[in-house]
């Protein structure tokens, strides 16, 4: 049986396996990152929508979360600071340059997340 316990503001995931109980410290918040497409054309028009959601330890949306995220895109000079409100944020990604791009999302209060997108040459 798995249950979550809040001990003095710290969340633990507790699981009973036979006669043993295992408790694991977990973060209160985490990012969930998704995209509408894995591959896009290198035409600067085709795009994928990247959606970031802030979830609690039970995977429920934290719609009262507001905070800063840092977005960095590999193989580019793009590094932006963005502000998220209501626990969710979406933005488009397109490119005229073919190749694999890794988008890293960093928050001071949550573990970082990465997502990869393949931009395919249309020639």
Residues 6+ apart with CB under 8 A from 120: 39, 40, 41, 42, 98
DSSP string, 104-123: EEEETTEEEEEEEEEEE---
pLDDT of residue 27: 63
Strand-strand pairing, 99-107 and 29-35: unpaired
Domain boundaries, the chain: 28-120
Note the pTM of the prediction, 2 decimals.
0.75
pLDDT tens track, the chain, 123 positions: 777 776 666 677 788 888 888 877 666 788 999 999 999 999 999 999 999 999 987 788 988 888 889 999 988 888 899 999 999 999 999 999 999 999 999 988 788 899 999 999 987
The CATH class for the domain spanning 28-120 reads: mainly beta
* Distance between start and end Cα atoms, the chain: 55
């Amino acid at each position: 049986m798995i249950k979550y316990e809040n001990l003095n503001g710290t969340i633990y995931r507790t699981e009973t396996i036979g006669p043993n109980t295992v408790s694991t410290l977990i973060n209160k918040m985490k990012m969930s990152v998704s995209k509408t497409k894995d591959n896009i054309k290198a035409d600067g028009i085709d795009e994928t929508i990247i959606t970031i959601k802030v979830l609690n330890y039970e995977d429920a949306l934290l719609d009262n979360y507001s905070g800063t995220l840092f977005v960095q895109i590999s193989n580019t000079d793009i590094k932006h600071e963005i502000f998220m409100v209501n626990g969710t944020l979406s933005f488009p990604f397109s490119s005229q340059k073919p190749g694999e791009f890794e988008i890293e999302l960093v928050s001071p209060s949550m573990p970082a997340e990465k997502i990869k997108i393949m931009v395919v040459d249309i020639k």
